[in-house]
Amino acid sequence: MSSALGFGIVGWDDQAQAAFRALGAVDGAEVRVAGASEMGDTSALQEMFSARFVQEPEAVIESDDVEAVFVAAAAGAREALVHQALAARKHMLMPAPLALDAETALRLLEAASEAGVALCLTTPWPVDPALVVVRRQIRADLFGQALLWQSVCMASSEVADWRIAVATDLGLFHYLTGVPATGAMARRVSGSEGAEVILLNVAFEHGAAGVYTVGARVVGAQEMTAVRGLVASRGQVDLSGEPRAVRGFSTEDAPAGAWQPIRYVGRRADLEDVIAGFVQRVRAGDAACDREALLEVPRILDAARRSLDDGGTAIVSI
């Protein structure tokens, strides 16, 4: 058997196929089995690739040559499979968020800890050199106290679950600042033409606030256009595209009040980099995880869902 870390892929949607391609480019990793109930006839895939293709996700998890599993199914629809894989002592990699509520997320973390396996998300910021630099500057107090995080994500198509759409920005704010949330309030705004917008307000410690807007079926919107940025007491950081920042005081490379690109070394991280880091962790026997970071987003989403159910009239404490 190859010395590469053997992966199984559960699901065969766009995310699963992206993982399949990325795994093929990562040294020390290879896909051994891929399977989903919706795959249908797999004979053509079998001829093209060395991996085995099956129609039962459980067969992927139960395969003896699979050491790690990528689950493409979204949070809210994958928990039973993830628990099954953790019980089989398979390392797990999946899209954010870990879960849609804190109780489910905690159960998954406890199961992974008991099994002694790594449980990770495909969020790129821990291995993205640009965001690592932004985080370092924010935590070095170069921008002062975080005041406001703004995020706008609009789609002209249907959004499967607004909580999943907003999870990335919720996690990114916590990664950059480390400031925990204390409460959330969400309300739904619907239009006569079928457009639907979710407005999420999050209260953070030290008086910081987050304003997140997720829109579906919005005429004229690109497939997923995003605006994201941080307003702080002594400057701003814009992460809508390539990171740039402005500060209220002059430095050697940036005069006060002038927007400047964030300088970093290397290329921006992609799924290959995330998988490579995951493989390195598994091979090093590092199953530790930042529990509070992984629980932060489910806690917010939990409070936001309860607020939405109550009509979005008050902040729900976390």
**Cα 193 to the center of its chain, rounded Å:** 30
At 72-95, the pLDDT tens digits run 999 999 999 999 999 999 999 999
What does pLDDT average to over the chain? 92
**Could you tell me the pTM of the whole model?**
0.92
Nearest partner of 1 among 62, 88, 67, 58, judged by Cα? 67
Q: What is the mean pLDDT of residues 148-155?
A: 93
The DSSP annotation for 150-203 comes to: EEEEE-SS--S-HHHHHHHHHHHHHHHH-PPEEEEEEEEEE-TTS-EEEEEEEE
Cα-to-chain-centroid distance, residue 191: 29
With cut-offs at 50, 70 and 90, classify the pLDDT of residue 3: confident
The model's pLDDT over 183-224, given as tens digits with 9 standing for 90+, comes to 999 999 987 678 899 999 999 999 999 999 999 888 877 766
pLDDT in tens, 229-285: 999 999 999 999 999 999 998 877 678 899 999 999 999 999 999 999 999 999 999
Reply yes or no on whether the pLDDT at 300 is more than 60. Answer: yes
**Tokens matching residue 102:** 């804190």
Say how far apart CA 164 and CA 24 lie, in whole Å.
27
